[in-house]
Amino acid sequence: EVVLTQSPGTLSLSPGERATLSCRASPSISSSSLAWYQQKPAQPPRLLIYDTSNRATGIPDRFSGSGSGTDFTLTISSLEPEDFAVYYCQQYGGSPRSFGQGTKLEIK
Amino acid sequence: QVQLVESGGGLVKPGGSLRLSCAASGFTFRDYYMIWIRQAPGRGLEWLSYISSGGSGMFYTDSVRGRFIISRDNVNKSLYLQMNSLRAEDTAVYYCARVEGRFSPKYMDVWGKGTTVTVSS
């Protein structure tokens, strides 16, 4: 079973700053088997990134994903007010599939 | 447009049953794995149960195996979740989602808005 651990639990930043969210897999997974989702209050999750680094349809290019093996990163280059939300990683390199516990990105 | 609409949630007593439905539109439903994911109040996302495009392959997470049954109707473009022996810990928002992945489930690119299930006496 693959366990995903996201860090930090909460990230406090200001609009315009760069956000770096981490997702660690144990054991390691295929480098192309990770997705990221954004969830705002009272809304379903929205797919941001799939196959580690591919942006989903309609996702702004300020969102980028990278990583391989055990360490994966979601980067938001310059935070917009609408980016403050909870972010989840999800792996599909192992069975059963699993989500990380989430990182809350809040306004500082 | 591509859309998923869940229904069937509500308040049920412990030990009771509920059947959730998810109506799909705007895409070729029979071509996709489909999944139910739930989110307990204030908690994260839980990968619950998925079903293959043709309906022959199913997966259940340990906490619901033997109590929940996933099914689909490709003619009527609908996904179902029969929930039996409900417990307080099944209280959550239940989302259906479309899964990308031709031969095995990968990631979810279309989500419904969710339906709320509350298990309480």
pLDDT in tens, A20-57: 999 999 999 987 899 999 999 999 999 999 999 999 99
How deeply is A101 buried, as exposed, middle or buried, from its count of CB atoms within 10 A (0-12, 13-18, 19+)?
A: middle
Query: Pick from B42, B82, B108: which is nearest to A97 by CA?
Result: B108
Contacts with A97 from chain B: Cβ below 8 Å:
47, 105
Whole-angstrom Cα distance, residue A88 to residue A4? 10
Mean pLDDT of chain B: 96
Q: Tell me the residue length of chain B.
A: 121
Nearest-angstrom CA–CA distance, B52 and B64: 18
Determine the residue type at A66. S
> Tell me: the pLDDT tens digits for B35-50?
999 999 999 999 999 9
Closest partner residue to A96 among B59, B100, B108, by Cβ?
B59
Question: Distance (Å) from the C-alpha of residue A47 to the closest C-alpha of chain B?
Answer: 6
Q: Which of B25, B91, B24, B90 is nearest to B51 (CA)?
A: B24
Residues of A in contact with B3 (CB under 8 A): none
| Residues constituting chain A | 108
